[in-house]
Chains A and B, each alone.
Chain A
Amino acid sequence: MRLVVDLNKCQGYAQCAFLAPDVFAMHGEESLIYNPHAPEEQRERLARAVAACPVQAITADGLDSTGERHTGSAQGASDAR
């Protein structure tokens, strides 16, 4: 499964690293590194991490919690992050 983290949004809360430690890891105090190609057996854990990320920074195939947010027409300036 493919995934990507918007590291501009990510605040280093480490919630994902706690829920899916084989996919996400903290590197230093607040840098997140992750495997953008998570094995299929991680789906469950990854889904939990996607749902639990306080800033919804994680997008994964078929588990997108953010996809719909970009479709509004009044997004303009609020895309600013």
Chain B
Amino acid sequence: MPADYMGWLRREGRIVIVGASLAGLRAAETLRAEGFAGELTLIGDEPYEPYDRPPLSKAVLLGMASPHHTELPHRREIDAKWRLGVAATGLDLAAKRVRLADGDEVEYDRLLIATGVRARPWFKEEEARLDGVCLLRTRDDAVDLYRRLKAGPRRVFVIGAGFAGSEVASACREMGLPVTVAERAGAPLVGALGGVIGAVASDLQLENGVDLRTHVTVTGLEGDAVGRVRAVHLSDESVVEADVVVVSLGSLRNTEWLAGSGLGAGPRGIACDAGCRAFDFRGIVTDDVFVAGDVARSPHALFGYQFLSLEHWGNAVAQAQTAAHNMICHGADRRPHLWMPAFWSSMFGVNIKSVGVPPMGEQLMITQGSPAERRFVGVYGYQGRMVAAVSFDNTRWLEFYQRQIERGAPFPVEFPTTDRRPEGRQPVDADFPDPSLPSHGPMVTLSGYSPADQQLVFHPARH
């Protein structure tokens, strides 16, 4: 190793980024912006240059954007070798090599893994192959779904009322399409925001004409003679006829390609330290493999150093920037990824945002506005501290609440707020389901302290 390894790495080292999407691109830009002059390779299994996913379930379905054109703008020239349309299939940590599906191998001095997640498919493979059964994660998925919705199906069926499923249902209603939504929990968004806010989301769907079925699971999809989906069977024995079925059951982390590599990678993501350095399977930190984005799982000082997995756009950007920075600097100049979790969604014309980690909250207080008016802020508390806030059409207040969370402000909330209603004076149970029984893929996974802990594996119910 050269005496001035870092100087050498910055001048002529080789950095490989696997996963050419939001986190991969922003990391590449940061590397160049911070003076990395060596060889940069981006490997992505999709044939497209990095594009943005949030519009796929919003602007695209609403007809405001073409599904073919959501490519991300580049913040600067990155002068990279692009290997698009080819998956990484293996990693040799000792030899510092990434194996590709086409048989090639790429050597690196530092590696960034940003392979994200993919949509959890319908669990009965044969039924999943029926024509009209759709997922929504990629640009190709969006092209397909948009085409099917434009064709005017008689009814759309959405399995799972998380954010993505609810956004699809919202778009369907706006297009005037009849839509049924099935959710195992008692309401939409329960996994992410709890039952109290879920009830508000429920009312929103019902008012907008969604045929919402809660406390049910889908038991089977039925096809017709030519292999097109025609009906959905539910656990309450009802049958709903539909010609488009959108499977929106959360996600699976893209870590299979790392099996046997010795990295601490599994179904819950890739564990890393606060500086985005990946752990190996023994829980020992590596020094040349970094992780960012949806696939990462990292400890957060503000939330008891629990390992957080976040499927949030803003996290992918911030973590990529931090990982890239840390990849090319000495220990003392590294910085931790202490991003405040934040998320947005919009459905049925309502802007929903959150900061902090709502599923960590035990109790909830509506501190401003009122759920009945669909315009409010709710604050989540855990063991006497504020840990999260959610707003419906009240985004301008969130920054204030973010600062409160950063300060570890007490809960129940004591400070006076404008527009506080009598019912908002007392905390109520936030009503999250038992975390070991998620109702759909959680947007946030908390996982305790041990990076090697892989005991909590999600088993979708199959009854």
Contacts and interface: CB of A to CB of B under 8 A. Distances in A.
B396 A36 contact: no
B34 interface: yes
B304 interface: no
A36 B52 contact: yes
A80 B73 contact: no
B152 interface: no
Given A30-B393, A31-B346, A81-B340, A76 B335 contact: yes
A42 to B, nearest CB: 13
A77 B62 contact: no
Sorting the interface of chain A by its residue count into under 10, 10 to 19, 20 to 34 or 35 or more gives 35 or more
Given A25-B64, A29-B349, A75-B321, A34 B73 contact: no
Given A25-B64, A31-B350, A6 B314 contact: yes
Contacts of B321: 70, 75, 79
Interface string A57-81: 0011100101110110101110111
B333 interface: yes
**Is chain A's binding surface mostly helix, strand, loop or mixed?**
loop
Contacts of B333: 73
Contact of A80 (B74, B325, B339): B339
Interface in B18-38: 29-30, 33-34
Contact of A28 (B52, B350, B399, B406): B350
Nearest to B343: A8
A64 to B, nearest CB: 6
Contacts of B58: 33
A8 B353 contact: yes
A7 interface: yes
A79 B65 contact: no
A37 B437 CA distance: 40
A16 to B, nearest CB: 13
Given A12-B351, A37-B65, A79-B322, A2 B338 contact: no
A75 B349 contact: no
A33 B336 contact: no
Most chain B beta-carbon neighbours within 10 Å: one of A35, A59, A64, A80: A80
A36 B55 contact: yes
A29 B340 contact: no
A29 B392 CA distance: 10
Contacts of B75: 59, 64, 66-67, 70
Contacts of A68: 33
B351 A29 contact: yes
B54 interface: yes
A2 B51 CA distance: 10
A31 B347 CA distance: 9
Given A11-B395, A67-B76, A81-B314, A27 B349 contact: yes
Contacts of A52: none
A30 B350 CA distance: 7
Nearest to B22: A4
Nearest to B393: A29
A60 B75 CA distance: 8
B313 interface: yes
B70 interface: yes
A34 B62 CA distance: 10
Interface of A: 1-4, 6-8, 10-12, 25, 27-31, 33-37, 59-61, 64, 66-68, 70-71, 73, 75-77, 79-81
Interface of B: 29-30, 33-34, 52, 54-55, 58-59, 62, 64-66, 69-76, 313-314, 317-318, 321-322, 325, 329, 333, 335-336, 338-340, 342-344, 346, 348-351, 353, 375, 393, 395-396, 399, 402, 406
11 contacts: A1-B73, A7-B313, A12-B395, A28-B349, A29-B393, A30-B395, A36-B52, A36-B55, A36-B71, A71-B33, A79-B339
